[in-house]
Amino acid sequence: MKKLKQITALIGVIALVGLYVSTLVLALIGSAEAINLLKVAVYATIVLPVLLWAYSFIYRLLKGKQNDDTSDKK
């Protein structure tokens, strides 16, 4: 399970670095299409970490609840 978490974290870091680089490149290009893509990249840069945190928080809550249920049955 620890290896899966490390792989997932690495994928998240790579995605964020890619978003940061694309945001910088799109900001420097300055065309009309690039402005729309820049807005999407900035939005994704903000939303992706929040979603990753929310998913991990919900997973921990559900996992902890299942562990409590199984410990009562023993």
Confidence label for 3 from pLDDT (cuts 50, 70 and 90)? confident
pLDDT at 19 over 60: yes
**Token code pair at residue 23:** 């945001």
Number of independent structural domains in the chain: 1
Q: What is the pLDDT of residues 24-36, one digit of tens each?
A: 887 788 778 888 8
pLDDT category, 73, cuts 50, 70, 90? low
Domain that holds residue 38: 2-73
Cβ-proximal residues to 13 (8 Å cutoff; 6+ apart), any chain: none
Length of the chain equals 74
pLDDT confidence of residue 30: 76
Distance between CA atoms of residues 67 and 38, nearest Å: 43
pTM for the predicted model, two decimal places: 0.60
